[in-house]
Amino acid sequence: MKILLIGEYSRLHNSLKEGLQKLGHEVTILGFSDGFKNYPVDFKLAKKWDAGLLKKIKLFVLVLFGFDITSYLIYRQFWRKRNHFTNFDVVQLINENSFFCNYSNEKKILDFIFANNKKVFLLSSGDDYPYVEYNFKHPENPSIIQPYLAGKIADKNFSNVLKFRTKSFEKLHQYIYTTIQGVIATDIDYHIPLQNHSKYLGMIPSPINLDKFAKSELKIDDKIVIFHGINRESYFKKGNDFYEKALEIIKQKYGENVEILTVENVPYIKYINLYNQAHIVLDQLYGHDQGSNGLEGMAKGKVVFTNASEVFEKHYNLTEKVAINGLPDVDYLVKELSFLIENPNEIQAIGKRARAIIEKEHDYLKIAEKYIEVWNKKRDGQ
């Protein structure tokens, strides 16, 4: 098949592309490189007039005339290369707002995509209308909405989430859902809001290319190494404030028996190599299931503090921990970290189980086969 994957979040589409190519399919990725993470794409889009003085001018024009320069320039980038994005057997959008445009420009791009390709599918793999609406209506459900409701995130820093509550993005959501063949969730957090929706095709876990993560056993010598990677843009969304407070206590408590590696806003290639020496990786809070960074840490056999709730354990019929469920509770995090530091054998045991579940549930070839099955099964009119 000839397949176009639109958008990139945390290497999800790159891993899927590698699996599909190994199965003999022709795959192209169009989209942004996910900011500083700089993931590879075949046709790269760029946000222009989005920083410094140009951004101020853009905002002035937007307020005065209602014209979004960045959105228009993204549309123009797509339109100049539009002939490269036709006649695909399958197109998959990574999000309801894959091009980060306003309603009118996003719809013009999607109109072209829908009109010039055979079948279009949508992923629910990040913030979108169903996910955001569900979690505002159910604030008790662990999600990124919780730190916002707690007053930790200002509206202007939460605009990429709040936009899905506006009338224009509700309209865009409805347009997409009436046109796509179906929507696929990539983990339990996105599965929950979509249950019983007529366009929902089910959950396919995020793919991990295990060829890139050699199987190895954690070696523990004199120190326990803890890795904490921070993305400032999502600092409170990921629960980094709780992790930093917990690490301060751990450093005081265990001194030279632990080594804490903290990095900020580094490209993906550098990031994954930086935590090679770590035994424990602190990923995120506020959810049920792991994101790509957590999964890759587990693939390396690390003990990852991430989303691994009872809902997750029940879904995969787990009786032993494959990761540590992160909670927004400093005392809890300190307790869990202390237990691992004082019981290094448990670090090795959890690391082995982490690798095993990735091999079983997230292998990129198995996942690619599941996508092919769903795409082939869904026909026009069904």
Does domain 2-207+364-377 sit in CATH 3.40.190? no
- Torsion 306-309-314-319 (CA) sign: positive
Looking at residue 36, what is its pLDDT? 66
Containing 22, the helix (H) or strand (E) segment is helix 12-22
Looking at residue 380, what is its pLDDT? 45
Looking at residue 382, what is its pLDDT? 47
Rounded distance between C-alpha atoms, residue 42 and residue 1, angstroms: 17
Percent of the chain with pLDDT over 90: 79
175-194 confidence digits (pLDDT tens): 999 999 999 999 999 999 99
- For residues 262 and 295, the answer to whether their CB atoms sit within 8 Å is no
Q: C-alpha distances in angstroms, 281 versus 1, 86, 301, 347?
A: 38, 42, 10, 11
Q: Into which CATH architecture does domain 211-361 fall?
A: 3-Layer(aba) Sandwich (3.40)
Q: Spell out a b/e string for 277-304, using b for 16 or more CB atoms within 10 Å of the CB, else e.
A: ebbbbbbbbbbbbbbbbbbbbbbbbbbb
Rounded distance between C-alpha atoms, residue 288 and residue 190, angstroms: 10
Given a cut of 60, is residue 206 above it in pLDDT? yes
Query: What confidence category does residue 34 fall into, taking pLDDT thresholds of 50, 70 and 90?
Result: low
Mean pLDDT of 262-282: 83
Enter the pTM of the model.
0.92
Q: Where in the sequence of the chain do the CATH 3.40.50.2000 domains occur?
A: 211-361
Rounded distance between C-alpha atoms, residue 28 and residue 17, angstroms: 8
* 374 CB burial (10 A radius; 0-12, 13-18, 19+): middle
